[in-house]
Amino acid sequence: MGINERIPGLHHSNTTHAYSNWHMDEIELRSYLLATAHGMSSWFKDKEIEAEKAVAHLDPESMHGDEAYTHFMDKVGIFWETYWYQLASAVVKDAFTLFEVFLEESADGTLRRYKSGLIKFGTEDSWRMNECDQFFSDYLGFSVLTRQIEDIQWIRNKLAHLRDELRTAEGKASFAERLNRLSVSSDETPEEKELQLSHFEFGRQLAFSKSLVLSPLEAWRILDIIRMHADEIATALSSIEYGPMSTAALEELRAGNPVRSRDARLIRIPEAPTTVTGQ
């Protein structure tokens, strides 16, 4: 099964331009995860066999028992499990960034129908996630910061700033709680076995005792969760961008009346139409 068949996108009647961009990039990110995991798994195995062959002819009496491991690490420089959680971390961080870009492009695309747009969209700056969520709540009537998205954002931020080690018992408990809510840590299903993605074969606690680690399969499942939310958002927005749907807040914005006056820092406020009165 090709990756395009495995990761179907929305039907064209339900998509938006922002969703199409996101979907293509998301498929590439999944391909990166799969190709890297498969290629590196074979490479690691080759180096493991090479290390075993290198010490096969050594005098057993003079060996300490770690010669094969030492040879492997001298040649490779990183152990399997370490590589897997670094790969998973990179994928999750990029996946959430991709989702943020999707939200920003979606908001700007919707606003353009109302003679507006995001002020920062033409710059290298971007709005904060809470500002993004406020916009979607105020003008489109739904929140994009769901519990699942908040959990993934928390994990992404910790991976970015702490890398692989939580510093407190409270942080470790919060990480475990969020993983439990996301339901990404269960054993792989028969369908997922075809992915051939590592999933803590030696146990999470044996991954060099790191407290902030994800497996490649957990990263894949997080991609699935983000995709579900992107699909829901695109379906809601397609009827506004290309259909007859609108909201009272967007119509008021078209008339030059934002929900909040401070919205002018983020959104271009259209000029209110002038009324010409007769003499």
What is the pLDDT, as a whole number, of residue 14?
A: 81
- Alpha-carbon Rg for the chain, nearest whole angstrom, is 24
Q: Under 8 Å CB-to-CB from 52, ≥6 apart: which residues?
A: 68
Mean pLDDT of the 121-133 span? 94
- Check pLDDT > 90 for residue 6: no
β-strand partners of 267: 118
- pLDDT, one tens digit per residue, over 213-265 is 999 999 999 999 999 999 999 999 999 988 889 999 999 999 999 999 999 99
pTM, to two decimals: 0.91
If residue 172 lies in a helix (H) or strand (E), which one and from where to where? helix 169-182
Mean pLDDT of the 12-34 span? 92
Mean pLDDT of the 139-159 span? 98
Question: Identity (one letter) of the amino acid at 123?
Answer: T
What is the pLDDT, as a whole number, of residue 278?
A: 55
Q: How many distinct helices (H) and strands (E) make up the chain? A: 10, 0
Mean pLDDT of the 35-45 span? 95
pLDDT classification of 54: cutoffs 50, 70, 90: confident
Question: Whole-angstrom Cα distance, residue 227 to residue 37?
Answer: 21
pLDDT classification of 85: cutoffs 50, 70, 90: very high
pLDDT classification of 55: cutoffs 50, 70, 90: confident
pLDDT classification of 161: cutoffs 50, 70, 90: very high
Reference 32, options 80, 91, 101, 89; nearest CA is 91
Domain residue ranges of the chain, discontinuous segments joined by +: 15-183+196-265
Residue 215 near residue 197, CB atoms below 8 Å: yes
Question: Whole-angstrom Cα distance, residue 88 to residue 179?
Answer: 14
- pLDDT, one tens digit per residue, over 173-215 is 999 999 999 999 999 999 999 999 999 887 777 656 789 999 9
If residue 31 lies in a helix (H) or strand (E), which one and from where to where? helix 17-55
Task: State the alpha helices, DSSP H only, in the chain.
Answer: 3-6, 17-55, 67-76, 80-112, 129-135, 147-162, 169-182, 190-193, 216-241, 248-254
Residue with tokens 């492009």: 105
What is the pLDDT, as a whole number, of residue 237?
A: 95
